[in-house]
């Protein structure tokens, strides 16, 4: 054999060997049944490690080009055409990127428990079925016009009626003045974040993120190879004065924030801090992504006085605003949206089309009619009242059943949203979050610990939105029993 792989080439040597033999076989130079050198022989001839040859042969076998049988060695397959046996690719070699995520085992453990009916799940970021506007959605569905085709060739920004409705919705409720041309409809917040990360940033770029932060935003950023730089938060939300130093240290290219009823902490960034953050982003010339899924779910009797950051940025347009209907209706609608400057929307639309991430045209039309239903405000008022009642009941249950073990991290309960952010009073009682969650599931309750949001130390998030009063009562009782067991028998 005169051919040898290039040791200094960009292509891995095992791949060069694979391609060489593939070309030899497909061209007929090596006929069916022809014997190939043993791995040891070929490694010696090519001056490579035997493991390199082993990998190349595995690829050839998985492609059905060669076969190995005991006693006859490795030969060109005799089944090259229609009668070839079923083949399986080496899927482990197709990983796009290895994502470093230390919380994945714990998250998987929690998710595996979802199929157990005897477990009370305090993890779901959605309304319980009795709070979903199912009757309103049914009424809205009666208005759908099925004479208009659901075609591939719709506007890739989303249904024009829905975008016009969203523009009016944002103006009336959020004081965000945006033209329908500057709105993109997405399949939820995670889809929007994925488009932003893929289109506006490059692998290796640094993005400043609140710590702790929204679970799925962290997953998206990690999957896209972004470096997440932690922005500390306190009871007033993100601390903007950190940003210039982080910009100098890490070359931050973008800021991501969930400033109103933040997930998981429930904190709301003050107006002064919002103004300061926007001012610093302008000085550094970096965009800011505002994730705002909960601002309509204030739990007081009056509207919150804190404006969105996007509403403070009507002229300079540094802010990309993300919203969703999932938190006020049902996640199954899969309707989110982005309001941003026209050049940003244009690039996101191109990426959405290129990747085939089309949104449901029927869902878009349903969302348009839903947002125009007369009963929408009545529905929102009912949801706010019930969430407020459940929040208070959960706080009372925690004090009654687990007051000696758990406390709110913020000085006050969240003024809106879905969650309570808590910590163990004695964090030394907990050594392993994995064992903590395993024991919780054994006691019939599940929740997300702090590490899932990028912050450990005996913290946990509980939701009061997706479960009713009876489940809250029983779930906190089970959690209290588990904590008492942990206190009597510290786990290690």
Q: Could you report the per-residue pLDDT of 281-307, keeping only the tens digit for each?
A: 999 999 999 999 999 999 876 566 789
Q: What is the CATH number of the domain that holds 60?
A: 1.10.10.10
Residues 321 and 419 in one domain: no
User: Are 410 and 356 within one domain?
Assistant: no
- Reported as a pLDDT band with limits 50, 70 and 90, residue 491 is very low
* CATH number, domain containing residue 420: 3.90.1150.10
Range of the domain at 27: 13-94
Residue 91, CB-side half-sphere exposure with 13 Å CA sphere: 2
Quote the pLDDT of residue 429: 60
| The total number of residues written for the chain in this structure | 492
Residue 366 lies in a domain: yes
Q: Residue 4 falls within a domain, yes or no?
A: no
Residue 82 pLDDT more than 50? Answer: no
**Would you call the peptide bond into 155 cis, given omega within 30 degrees of 0 as the criterion?**
no
Q: What Å distances lie between residue 135 and 132, 396, 438, CA to CA? A: 9, 32, 39
Confidence band (pLDDT; 50, 70, 90) for 101? Answer: low
Residue 358 per-residue DSSP state: P
Q: What is the pTM of this model?
A: 0.80
Are 358 and 385 within one domain? Answer: no
Please state whether the peptide bond connecting residue 264 to the residue before it is cis, i.e. omega within 30 degrees of 0: yes
Which residue among 340, 373, 406 closes a domain? 373
Q: pLDDT by residue (tens digit) across 150-197?
A: 776 568 899 999 999 999 999 999 999 999 999 999 999 999 999 999
The answer to the question of residue 137 being in a domain is no
- pLDDT at position 490 is 45
Report whether 33 contacts 78 (CB < 8 A): yes
**67 pLDDT band (50/70/90 cuts)?**
confident
Residues 75 and 154 in one domain: no
Give the pLDDT confidence score for residue 428 in this predicted structure: 55
User: Are 36 and 61 found together in one domain?
Assistant: yes
Q: So what's the pLDDT on residue 302?
A: 56
d(CA 175, CA 390): 29
268 within a domain of the structure (yes/no): yes
Tell whether 415 and 317 lie within a shared domain: no
Residue 8 belongs to some domain of the structure: no
Q: Clarify whether residues 201 and 70 are in a common domain.
A: no
Q: Are residues 369 and 440 in the same domain?
A: no
The string of pLDDT tens digits covering residues 432-474 is 888 889 999 999 999 999 988 988 778 999 999 999 999 999 9
Is 76 found in the same domain as 50?
yes
* Residue 442 confidence (pLDDT): 94
Domains of the chain: total: 3
- Residues 51-60: pLDDT tens digits? 899 989 988 8
196 and 156 assigned to the same domain: yes
Contact 210, 256 (CB under 8 A): yes
Same domain, residue pair 183 and 56 = no
Band (485; pLDDT cuts 50, 70, 90): confident
């Amino acid at each position: 054999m005169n051919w040898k792989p290039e040791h200094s080439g960009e292509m891995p040597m095992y791949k060069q060997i694979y391609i060489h033999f593939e070309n030899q076989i497909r061209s007929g130079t090596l006929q069916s049944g022809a014997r190939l050198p043993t791995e040891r022989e070929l490694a010696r001839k090519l001056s490579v490690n035997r493991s390199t040859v082993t990998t190349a042969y595995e690829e050839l076998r998985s492609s059905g080009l060669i076969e190995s049988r005991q006693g006859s060695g490795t030969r060109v397959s005799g089944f090259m055409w229609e009668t070839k046996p079923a083949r399986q690719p080496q899927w482990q070699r197709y990983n796009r990127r290895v994502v470093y995520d230390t919380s994945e085992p714990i998250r998987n453990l929690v998710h595996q428990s979802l199929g157990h009916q005897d477990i009370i799940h305090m993890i779901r970021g959605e309304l319980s079925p009795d709070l979903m506007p199912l009757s309103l959605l049914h009424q809205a569905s009666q208005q759908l016009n099925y004479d208009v085709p659901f075609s591939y060739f719709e506007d890739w920004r989303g249904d024009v009626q829905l975008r016009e409705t969203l523009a009016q919705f944002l103006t009336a409720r959020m004081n965000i003045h945006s033209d329908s041309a500057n709105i993109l409809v997405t399949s939820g917040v995670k889809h929007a974040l994925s488009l932003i990360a893929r289109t506006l940033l490059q692998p290796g770029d640094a993005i400043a993120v609140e710590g702790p932060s929204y679970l799925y935003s962290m997953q998206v950023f990690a999957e896209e190879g972004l470096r997440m730089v932690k922005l500390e938060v306190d009871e007033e939300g993100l601390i903007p004065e950190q940003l210039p130093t982080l910009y100098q240290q890490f070359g931050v290219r973008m800021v991501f924030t969930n400033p109103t009823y933040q997930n998981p902490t429930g904190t709301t960034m003050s107006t002064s801090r919002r103004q300061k953050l926007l001012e610093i982003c302008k000085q550094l010339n970096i965009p800011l992504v505002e994730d705002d899924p909960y601002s309509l779910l204030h739990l007081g009797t009056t509207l919150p006085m804190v404006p969105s950051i996007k509403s403070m940025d009507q002229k300079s347009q540094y802010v990309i605003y993300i919203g969703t209907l999932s938190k006020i209706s049902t996640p199954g609608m899969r309707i989110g949206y982005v309001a941003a400057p026209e050049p940003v929307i244009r690039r996101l639309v191109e990426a959405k089309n290129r990747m085939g991430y089309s949104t449901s045209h029927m869902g878009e039309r349903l969302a348009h009619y839903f947002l125009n239903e007369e009963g929408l405000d009545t529905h929102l008022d009912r949801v706010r009242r019930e969430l407020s009642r459940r929040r208070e009941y959960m706080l009372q249950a925690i004090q009654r059943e687990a007051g000696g073990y758990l406390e709110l991290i913020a000085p006050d309960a969240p003024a809106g949203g879905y969650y309570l952010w808590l910590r163990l009073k004695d964090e030394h009682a907990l050594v392993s979050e994995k064992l903590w969650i395993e024991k919780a599931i054994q006691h019939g309750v599940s929740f997300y610990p702090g590490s899932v949001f990028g912050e450990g130390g005996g913290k946990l998030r509980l939701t009061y939105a997706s479960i009713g009063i009876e489940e809250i009562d029983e779930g906190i009782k089970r959690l209290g029993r588990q904590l008492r067991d942990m206190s009597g028998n510290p786990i290690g």
